[in-house]
């Protein structure tokens, strides 16, 4: 049994609320154009069966295949560029009135958890070619209230309540547990693209510029978009089943996805890649904005080099003179949309020489990849004079203050079946043991 809880005041609100000023700071447009027609060419969204909330409503893929549902870049139905995002799936039961798909952006392959302003707008073009006469769907969006103050389309995080936008209510069970959204719009199959836009300040959804009503309701939230810093993410696009429609296959394309904000995005500083050693002739910067168009290199707070860029790939600068001990380098970046420049990055002081490090080896005596120190088998450290215990009981050479080591259970770095004598400093005993066949794992600290 289910029941529909509708937001009775939404239709009135849509009429009475004054039109808000257009958001004035658009993000870049996501065209889903790279590497099209490869079924694993994923970008922002996971495949339809990914979400545990809705996995039982869609026919699962066969083992090792993407045959029953996918969300990938494909040519043929784009409204710009070379491709669009093609999303297809099959309803397990086309007559199920509470079936829906949560097309999640959680940790997407290339644009994970895309950030937005929770008082701004979301829009994209959509083509529904599910069938000639069947395959109608409802569409709304889910906004996660993360509060992370990062620019639009950057990774906004994955923690916070979720609110549905562009809905007239929610479907609940008899105990009031929320089961599904009720979108304000449904879209029948058509070869023509429609432009959908959600006003996050009001919850109203528009189709080709015409407001169609709607509002905000909580999936896990309280029905109000009130995140810290007015920042959240497009957590998912929701496709709901129209139970009066017999179509099982749903096939849509999404293109020209864009966000807008009522205020400029924050321009976060980039990251200078450390260390810099005396006599180095190059320095590099990472963590650039998607909309970056200029990077500045500063030495002792003075800009010494500037480079215009066309994307957010890491940039390497060749210094006008080799780095000298004690100099301090930073980077800034400029947002190509707002023209604003960030604060300086992390400051890196030039070192006279590379930091020293020590080296030892761990022998996994039985070669089983186990973390156990207990016989038979276990680990022995070669080249260590004593061991020290960490808080979790793990042992490491005392001269390391923590080392890097191959992870337990991974294949051995080196494997040997020879027999020889090794001088081990295990636990400071300095005892000699005969090494059995096993593997060697290296540890070091710097």
N-to-C CA span, the chain: 62
Q: Measure Cα distances from 191 to 76, 77, 143, 240, 312 in Å.
A: 11, 9, 28, 20, 35
Tokens of 202: 């009001």
What is the pLDDT, as a whole number, of residue 385?
A: 74
Output the six-digit token pair for 31.
């065209």
pLDDT value of residue 12: 31
* SS3 labels along 249-272: EEEEEEEEEEEEECCCCCCCCCEE
Using the predicted structure, report yes or no on whether residue 324 has a pLDDT greater than 50. yes
- Residue 291, pLDDT score: 87
Domain residue ranges in the chain: 3-261, 271-349, 358-445
pLDDT exceeds cutoff 60 at 158: yes
- The pLDDT tens digits for 384-395 are 777 776 555 666
How far is C-alpha 293 from the chain's CA centre?
Answer: 22
Element (H, E) at 335: strand 328-335
Q: What is the mean pLDDT of the chain?
A: 84
pLDDT for 384 equals: 74
CA 286 to chain centre: 17
- Cis peptide before 275, with omega less than 30 degrees from 0? yes
Inform me whether the pLDDT recorded for 438 exceeds 50.
no
Token couple for 267:
């321009």
Rounded to two decimals, what is the model's pTM? 0.72
Lowest mean pLDDT among 45-59, 147-161, 306-320, 364-378: 364-378
- Percentage of the chain with pLDDT > 70? 78
CATH number of this structure's domain 271-349, picked from the four choices 2.60.40, 1.10.3470, 1.10.150, 2.60.120:
2.60.40
pLDDT, position 150 = 92
User: pLDDT tens digit string along 159-211?
Assistant: 999 999 999 999 999 999 999 999 999 999 999 999 999 999 999 999 999 99
DSSP 8-state secondary structure symbol assigned to residue 25? E
pLDDT value at 80 more than 70: yes
Q: Do domains 3-261 and 271-349 have the same CATH topology?
A: no
Q: Are 367 and 412 contacting, i.e. CB atoms less than 8 angstroms apart?
A: yes
Phi, psi of 9, deg, nearest 5: -85, -5
DSSP assigned state of 57: G
Please state which of the four CATH numbers 3.40.50.970, 3.20.20.70, 3.20.20.150, 2.60.120.260 is assigned to the domain occupying 3-261: 2.60.120.260
Look at 359 and 342; give whichever has higher pLDDT. Answer: 342
């Amino acid at each position: 049994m289910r029941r529909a809880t509708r937001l009775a005041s939404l239709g009135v609100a849509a009429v009475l609320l004054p039109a808000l000023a257009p958001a004035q700071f658009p993000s870049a447009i996501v065209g889903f154009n790279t590497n099209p027609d490869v079924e694993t060419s994923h970008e922002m969204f996971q495949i339809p069966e990914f979400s545990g909330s809705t996995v039982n409503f869609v026919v699962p893929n066969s083992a090792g295949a993407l045959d029953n549902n996918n969300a990938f870049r494909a040519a043929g139905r784009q409204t710009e560029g070379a491709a669009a995002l093609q999303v297809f799936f099959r309803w397990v039961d086309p007559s199920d009135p509470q079936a829906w798909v949560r097309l999640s952006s959680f940790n997407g392959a290339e644009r994970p958890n895309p950030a937005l302003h929770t008082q701004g707008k979301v829009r994209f073009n959509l083509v529904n070619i599910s069938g000639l006469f069947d395959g109608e769907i409802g569409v709304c969006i889910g906004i996660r209230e993360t509060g992370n103050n990062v620019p639009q389309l950057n990774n906004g995080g994955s923690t916070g309540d979720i609110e549905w936008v562009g809905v007239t209510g929610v479907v609940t069970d008899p105990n009031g547990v929320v089961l599904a959204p009720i979108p304000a719009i449904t879209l029948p199959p058509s070869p023509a693209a429609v432009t959908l836009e959600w006003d996050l300040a009001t919850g109203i959804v528009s189709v080709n510029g015409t407001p169609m009503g709607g509002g905000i309701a909580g999936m896990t939230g309280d029905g109000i978009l009130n995140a810290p810093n007015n920042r959240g993410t497009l957590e998912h696009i929701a496709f709901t089943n129209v139970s009066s429609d017999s179509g099982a296959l749903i096939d849509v394309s999404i293109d020209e996805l864009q966000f807008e904000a009522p205020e400029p995005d924050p321009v976060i500083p980039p990251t200078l890649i450390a260390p810099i050693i005396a006599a180095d002739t190059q320095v590099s910067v990472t963590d650039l904005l998607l909309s970056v168009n200029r990077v500045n290199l500063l030495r002792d707070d003075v800009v010494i080099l500037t480079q215009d860029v066309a994307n957010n790939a890491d940039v390497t600068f060749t210094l006008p003179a080799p780095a000298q001990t004690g100099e301090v380098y930073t980077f800034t970046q400029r947002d190509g949309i707002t023209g604003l420049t960030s604060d300086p990055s992390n400051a890196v002081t030039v070192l006279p020489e590379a930091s020293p490090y020590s080296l030892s080896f761990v022998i996994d005596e039985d070669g089983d990849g186990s973390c156990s120190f207990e016989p038979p088998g276990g680990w022995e450290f070669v080249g260590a004079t004593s061991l020290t215990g960490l808080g979790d009981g793990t042992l490491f050479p005392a001269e390391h203050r923590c080392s890097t080591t191959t992870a337990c259970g991974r294949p051995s770095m080196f494997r040997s079946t020879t027999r020889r004598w090794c001088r081990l400093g295990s636990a400071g005993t300095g005892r000699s043991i005969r090494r059995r066949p096993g593997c060697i794992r290296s540890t070091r600290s710097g």
